[in-house]
Amino acid sequence: MGRSGWLVGGLLWLAALGVRLLYIEQSQTSPFFDYPLVDAKTYADAAERMGVQGHWDGGDAPFWQPPLYPYFLGFLYALFTPTYYLPRLVQAAISACNCVLLYLLGRRLFSPGLGLAAAVAAALYGPLVFFSGEFLPPPLALFFNLLILLTLPWAMAGRPRRLLVPGFCLGLAALAVANILLFLPAALLWVIIVRRALPWPRRLLNALPLLLGASLVIAPVTLRNYLIGDDLVLISSNGGINFYLGNNANYEETIRIPPGPAWRALVSQPRTEAGLTRASDQSDYFFARAWDFISAEPSAYLLLLLHKTYIFWHGDEIGRNQDLYYARNFSPLLSLLLWKATIAFPFGVVAPLALLGIGLVCYNREQRRAEMYLLLLYIAVYALSVILFFPTARYRLPIVPPLLLFAAYAVSAFYCLGRERAGVKLAWAGGALIALLVACNFRVGPMNMAGDAETLHRLGFVYQQKGLPANAIAAYEQALALDPEIREARFNLGALYARRGRYDQAIAAYQNFVVRYPDYPEARYALGNALLYASRYAEAIVQYEKLLDAAAAPERKAVQERLAYAHIQLDQLDAAAALYRDLVVQAPDSLRFRYQLGQLTEALGQPGLARREYAAILQRDSTHAEAGLRLAHLLLASDESTAAEVQLKRLVAAHPHLVAPRWLLATHYATQHEGIKALAQAQAILEIQPDHVQANRMVGHLQVIQGDTLAGVKNLDRFKKYYVEERQQAILEALKDQWRQQLKGMF
């Protein structure tokens, strides 16, 4: 390639980068920009653990997802301050490089003009632009996939060791998105067939560097999985569940399982139902379930394969974890590059053109070259790898650039046929294109710019995490209006209502949840709490008791404690005391439980039992102020003044800044006619709290009695002042409360 070719490539890279940077700039208004979700969050969290916290070992289990992308993000986080902007900039540059690689591939296989046309289309291809701004691996995987297609023919033109290079690229691509591994045997077969002039042993030997290159890249990951997890996992362990999602009798349901309890329940099935703990065994469990379906219902499986093939070639962009069409709300540029209106642009146009272009290439003998067959083989195998699992926009993206080459070829063929006035051929080609357009855009449906139920659910979650409860509530309500079965949305909506004091709405949301999902104890617990906050104590008791009866209460001790509180509010002290006795048995070292039990038994007129609990608390913590003070009160009430005085002195020594034990000690001294001691304690109180009304009164009286009349009168004047102010404040609060009650009655 000469200077002009490199210049074109450079300008193309700048143009593609500019388009992607504009999209990233516009998409910053999206609530999801700085809050990645599901897989994107998994990758971002893993990158932070690596790049920021230094945990480069990747965890203590075999990789769940292919590891290259999180390591790529982690490397960026290690070099630069972690942000949500920088990785997108780097990915934009990589995505722009992919356009240049496509240009080079088109130049070699077709012509410079056709390669440039396909590359320009890639620069403006909506989904390619969209995924360049997501925390997902497609741009990185596509980079290595295109390098495979470029370096394989180059390697075949030289010595066999050159095949190490495309082998390395294939290994790296597999560490980004593992289904490219299905292309490895196809590439090996291509290498063997191309060198058909050599004898079979020599052909096989010459193909080994390709396999060796891929193995050298993948082997460290396999070894790491074995050393850390004592388990033989080639790259990642999510292959089994992904295969099951796309191959079962309830495909339409399983493929739409959202993140949350339903997903966690599915993932945990190998452990809960079969007792499998190793990652490879859990993956095999799901493979086995899928094969059970395939072997038991081969006709249903064949129909499912046909259905997935149709979905793969359909123009609609099926999101997974993200809705591409909803993202148009935040980017005018994406609105131009991705839309649906009778046809689904761009794939609904590219796919028919590309399929026609593939047919024309196969018809044209001049195009039947080894490199062309390699490209066709890549498209066929990669499409098959996606269809065997499940097709979505994210997973079919890696075949789009090669398809753009064939689409450009089809357009150029129409142009040539038109210039040649080949009416019959033009009619046949035009008819085929129309048929393909209809098939790829059949029932394409409208764009859902408002977002589907799952998108709105995720939007509500993001708003909730960002501290925007009103926005979160609105999003959750819209999500539930579209799909009432989104459990997390309904549960979170109840929590938001409760936090904002809208207890009636919270109760209604939780009651609805409990009716729909009675085996979800967290919801019943939340319902009980909402009823408690709304002062509907009897109803709260019913919910808490159901939890305890089911023996599946979350935070069982907390449930019992709240149940006891509800009984107290209804003056059912015996029931509350019984609950606290049980709590003390469960947690004998809990001072809080013992103190509450002591107060309850004291309120029930059982001072002996109360003293026993307070004494047990003080035995564990001699400085426990509340228990010590209550014990002193009980000792004074039973005329054990000496023991009470000892206890109060101990409390004053342990907590010199507490007023309550000093005041009780002062009043005790006063009743014992020990004025000097009482005065000392009262004066100490005034040093801590000068506006203490009763202490001012006591000091004043004692000073007058002891002959210090001026000082005594001064303290008594303070007492009168503070007493009047206290009464005025009490009257004001009473008036306010009366007005509040009247206003409630008015509305």
Q: What is the pLDDT of residues 513-572, one digit of tens each?
A: 999 888 888 888 999 999 998 999 999 999 998 888 765 555 788 888 889 989 988 889
Residues 115, 254 within the same domain: no
pLDDT digits (tens, 9 = 90+) for 67-124: 999 999 999 999 888 888 999 999 999 999 999 999 999 999 999 999 999 999 999 9
Quick: pLDDT tens for 718-738: 656 655 555 555 555 654 465
Claim to verify: residue 41 and residue 149 sit in the same structural domain: yes
As a whole number of Å, the end-to-end CA separation of the chain is 81
Angle between helices 68-79 and 138-156 (to 10 degrees): 110
The confidence score (pLDDT) of residue 721 equals 60
For residues 95 and 200, state if they share a domain. yes
pLDDT over threshold 60, residue 747:
no
Percentage of the chain beyond pLDDT 90 is 50
548 in any annotated domain = no
In which region does residue 555 sit, left (phi positive, over 0), alpha (psi from -120 to 50) or beta (all else)?
Answer: left
Reduced to 3 states, what is the DSSP secondary structure of residue 422?
A: coil
* Residue 230 and residue 297 share a domain: no
Q: Which residues are registered as beta bridge partners of 344?
A: 340
pLDDT at residue 388 tops 90:
yes
pLDDT for the residue numbered 746: 37
- The least confident of 189-198, 302-311, 491-500, 729-738 is 729-738
Asked which of 314, 333, 365 is the last residue of a domain, the reply is 314
Distance CA 261, CA 266 (A): 9
Domain boundary among 211, 236, 261: 236
Residue 115: inside a domain, yes or no? yes
Over residues 34-56, the mean pLDDT reads 88
Q: Please check whether residues 261 and 219 belong to one and the same domain.
A: no
In a domain, 738, yes or no: no
User: Does some domain include residue 359?
Assistant: no
Whether 84 and 104 share a structural domain: yes
Does any domain span residue 638? no
* Residue 579, domain member (yes or no): no
The pLDDT of 662-684, averaged and rounded, is 82
Average pLDDT over residues 268-287: 91
Is 151 found in the same domain as 103? yes
37 and 130 part of one domain: yes
pLDDT per residue as tens digits for the range 278-302: 999 999 999 999 999 999 999 999 9
Task: Give me the long-range contacts of 528-532 (CB less than 8 A, separation at least 24).
Answer: 528/559, 528/562, 529/498, 529/562, 530/494, 530/497, 530/498, 530/503, 530/506, 531/503, 531/507, 532/562, 532/565, 532/566
- pLDDT per residue as tens digits for the range 403-451: 999 999 999 998 888 887 777 888 888 999 999 999 999 988 888 888 8
DSSP lists the bridge partners of residue 343 as 341
Same domain, 167 and 186: yes
Give the Å distances, CA to CA, from 541 to 509, 532, 545.
18, 8, 6
Is residue 249 domain-resident? Answer: yes
Judge if 270 and 216 occupy the same domain: no
Q: What pLDDT sits at residue 522?
A: 86
User: Do 225 and 291 belong to one domain?
Assistant: no
CB 324, CB 127: distance < 8 Å: yes
Last residue in a domain, options 176, 210, 236: 236
Query: What tokens appear for 207 in the block?
Result: 């193909």
pLDDT of residue 385: 95
| Tally of domains within the chain | 2
User: Does residue 119 form part of some domain?
Assistant: yes
Q: Which residue(s) pair with 345 in the sheet?
A: 339
Same domain, 192 and 291: no
When the pLDDT of each residue in the chain is averaged and rounded to a whole number, the result is: 88
Mean pLDDT of 448-468: 89
What is the residue whose two structure tokens read 């969209």? 130
For residue 228, what are the domain limits?
A: 3-236
